[in-house]
Amino acid sequence: MAGTSPRLVLASTSASRLSILRSAGVEPEVAPSGVDEDAVVAALHNPSPEDVVRALATAKARSVAQTYEAEELPEGLVIVGADSMLLIDGELQGKPHTEEETIRRWRNQRGRTAELITGHAMMAESVVFTEVSRTRIQFAQATDEDIAAYAATGEPFGCAGAFTLEALGGWFIDRIEGDPSSVIGLSLPVLRRGLTVFGYNVSQFWNR
């Protein structure tokens, strides 16, 4: 695989994930997966939090891989799928979607510590690499007024855990323990390890 001029395909329409890759020197192709996430989770039997995000990430990557209608992916093509959820009170939380749900979640999580869990699935030719990263988040003691104002922006509606580290939500994060890029949506260290498994150097994907 290492002898080709590789391409990376992001199986996501997430602006945050695209931004991470662009900031790291990679201009990926973007291919929405269209996965029914509820159906994927419903098919799992007594899953752990890691099982859930790994299964969702894998389903997204496989969905895009199937569009190539071949037993294995073309040489030089790497597909990346990812899924993030917040683990708090023993429950996984995805995107809040609405202003009301964003407010409810923030009133519960402010001043507390939770874990942001991100599943990664990478595919190249017939090889699949998966890994889950976990990062501890210490939420600030946000005021009711700030919570309402943040929810009113709509920014967190499409974000796991109802927050963004890299934008307005960063005001309300006191500390993180782990990989910052994973909190935003894609762990660069995980991607590097996956590319190494496939026989690539990360610099092969940089824009030059």
Tokens matching residue 131: 């890994």
Per domain, the residue ranges of the chain are: 7-202
Q: State which fold the 7-202 domain adopts.
A: Maf protein (3.90.950)
Half-sphere exposure for 84 (CA within 13 Å, toward CB): 28
Positions marked active-site: 83
* DSSP classification of residue 73: P
How close are the terminal C-alpha atoms of the chain, in Å?
20
At residue 70, the pLDDT reads: 74
What token pair was written down for 142? 């946000």
Radius of gyration of the chain (CA): 17
pLDDT value for 4: 54
Q: Chunked in runs of 10, what are the mean pLDDT values of the chain (208 residues)?
A: 77 94 97 93 95 98 90 91 96 96 98 98 96 98 98 96 95 97 96 98 92
Residue 195, Cβ density class (10 Å: 0-12 exposed, 13-18 middle, ≥19 buried): buried
Residue 68 has a pLDDT of 87
Q: Directed axis angle between helix 99-109 and helix 144-153, to 10°?
A: 140
d(CA 146, CA 55): 35
Which residues fall within 8 angstroms of residue 26, CB to CB, at 6 or more apart?
8, 205, 206, 207
Q: pLDDT at position 71, please?
A: 76
**pLDDT of res. 3:** 52
